[in-house]
Structure 1
Amino acid sequence: MCRVVDLKQAVLAKNAGAAHALRTALTARGTTVVNLLSSPGSGKTALLERELGLARGRGLPVAALTADLATENDATRLARSGVPVKQVLTDGLCHLEAAMLGRHLDGWLPEDTRLLFVENVGNLVCPASYDLGESLRVVLASVTEGEDKPLKYPTAFGLAQLVVVTKADLAQAAEFDEAAFRANVQQVNPGVDVLLTSARTGRGAGLLLDRALAAGDGSAVHVPVMAAQQHAPQHGHGHGQEPGQDQGQGHGPGHSHADHGHGHGHGQDQVRAHGPADRPAPGDHRPAPAPAR
């Protein structure tokens, strides 16, 4: 008798187990992971750079890992904040997975790190299905992307625990309808908070940092309806994980990457992190010690 195996669910189940293990290990050492998802060009790097600078100014031990298909441009920018930064090049892979993240953190992430910001690959499709062991999942959209963005990407926005609008300083020029955007967000994710920010003017500065700290301190985090539905017994646990695996995050209604024509094999570590093993210091941006305050 031949057995039909749902590879999509198998991959997501494997990822769910890795995410649970990573979340447990990092939580035990006091590190909270924040997973940032957005389209390319949303402005998340600029916003993150500002938030990292604020964190360092407060004396908070934070770090950032950024993933891109190519270049170390984002890591170079984020390193200006003075916190530990690592660039991961995915060589075409459209997202990060929990096991990959864990391997790149091993031996690099400072032990006293309180917050780890993960800037996922710019993509609102593939990353939405993969829990990275985060305690807070944030989806960002700029005012220039249109008010209907949440409706076009209901999975990404539907699983967000926080939605951040960027480039708010351009809202008038872009004729951004804030009320319509908020209504569309609530349509796919009732009850989730929406924050408006501008890295240029400083509007909303520190709000993302405060939400991340609150999540790490045990404050209630929004549970998306979509996530709750996926993990209901009649839905087979959403990720395809076995009973007893981590179901608290609710991230990732699986989608088939075959639909997107990707030729890579998911669930395998195909990313490479630039660091001392490759050549002196690229990709692993270690800051100089902060001056005594």
Structure 2
Amino acid sequence: MNSPAPLPTTPESAPDYHIHALTGAATGSTRDLSGPLSAEITAAFAASPDGEIAVRSVDVNIPLLEKNDILAERNRGYFLGRGLTALNLVSSPGAGKTTLLERTLDEFGRQHRCAVLVGDLETDNDGQRLSRPHAPVAQITTGTVCHLDAGMIARAAQSIDLDGVRILFIENVGNLVCPASFDLGEQVRVVLLSTTEGEDKPLKYPPIFKSANLVLLTKVDVADVLGFKRDVAVENIRRIAPQAQIIQLSARTGEGMAEWYAFLQARAGRR
């Protein structure tokens, strides 16, 4: 019986995006997918004599988002099979994703092996900031695409060594609109709202907040200086996303970071 195929790649034509493993590059062959798959994907495997399924095997009449969802399901099975938890971090530009991850890798990442996939339109600046000897990091430059998609994650995940990784952070492109529609195969979606943005952001961009498992209210150390009303922001988050846990923190001062690490710890131990 053939073993499951590795993560699928994107179409035959050269992608418009680029992936650069900055630290912890994968060596040798990639590990096969394992873990539960949806009935649709299982049926596709059963119908394929060589056990392969990729984007090119999907009917072109299937809408773009449905194709993405198929790849996302494959990613999810791959991550589950490796025993890691993938978190998709989404926010407006400048909300503090990279600063948060820098401190997280330096503190939490010393005790639990983490990896990061970073998305930006251009440059590997954020990837370079996050590069650590103990944490595999790959930069995805998307060109003109304003979000990551499941195909990009499938390729990027195979570019780094995920052996022993318990937490995979996916730092999405700074945008609160497009990423809401694209499942990457993550188990947890984290939306950041900074105190520099205004308390009504959840009311203006409800889809992304409605999809959140966790909302991080960031840069709380400057809330008073900015006149930012934290209680109003929390009320707006709860109004739009009652399902989401809320953590208020500052990656600069350390306020709230223990609660963030406890959230990660609870997921790092899951198999």
Computed over aligned residues only, the root mean square deviation of the Cα atoms, in angstroms, reads 2.0
Question: How many residues of Structure 1 are paired with residues of Structure 2 in the alignment?
Answer: 212
1:151 maps to: 203
Query: Letter of the aligned partner of 1:128 in structure 2?
Result: A
**TM-superposed deviation, 1:174:** 0.8
**Which of 162, 165, 178 is residue 214 of structure 2 equivalent to?**
162
1:40 maps to: 93
Does residue 1:50 correspond to 2:76, yes or no?
A: no
**TM-superposed deviation, 1:80:** 4.7
Distance 1:125 1:174 in 2: 25
SS of the aligned residue for 1:156 comes to helix
Distance 2:75 2:189 in 1: 15
Does residue 1:104 correspond to 2:156, yes or no?
A: yes
Q: Which runs of 5+ in 2 are unaligned?
A: 1-59
Distance 1:95 1:8 in 2: 22
Contact kept in structure 1, 2:193 and 2:217, CA below 8 Å: yes
Does residue 1:16 correspond to 2:69, yes or no?
A: yes
Distance 1:43 1:149 in 2: 15
What does residue range 80-99 of structure 1 map to in structure 2 within 5 Å? 80=132, 82-99=134-151
**Which of 52, 76, 79 is residue 26 of structure 1 equivalent to?**
79
Contact kept in structure 1, 2:86 and 2:167, CA below 8 Å: yes
Distance 2:223 2:173 in 1: 25
RCO (CA 8 Å, sep 6+): is it higher in 1 or 2?
1
Relative to structure 1, the CA distance from residue 109 to residue 206 in structure 2 (aligned partners, 3 Å threshold; closer, same or farther) is farther
Query: Letter of the aligned partner of 2:136 in structure 1?
Result: P
**Which of 100, 117, 120 is residue 172 of structure 2 equivalent to?**
120
Does residue 1:215 correspond to 2:267, yes or no?
A: yes
**TM-superposed deviation, 1:35:** 0.3
Query: Letter of the aligned partner of 2:153 in structure 1?
Result: L
Does residue 1:171 correspond to 2:223, yes or no?
A: yes
Question: What's the TM-score, normalizing by structure 1?
Answer: 0.68
1:223 maps to: none
Name the stretch that deviates more: 71-80 or 90-99: 71-80
Q: Which runs of 5+ in 1 are unaligned?
A: 1-6, 220-293
Distance 2:145 2:69 in 1: 19
Distance 1:81 1:176 in 2: 38
**TM-superposed deviation, 1:218:** 5.0
Question: What's the TM-score, normalizing by structure 2?
Answer: 0.74
Relative to structure 1, the CA distance from residue 79 to residue 206 in structure 2 (aligned partners, 3 Å threshold; closer, same or farther) is farther
Identical columns (%): 44
SS of the aligned residue for 1:137 comes to strand
Query: Letter of the aligned partner of 1:190 in structure 2?
Result: P
Does residue 1:79 correspond to 2:119, yes or no?
A: no
Does residue 1:185 correspond to 2:234, yes or no?
A: no
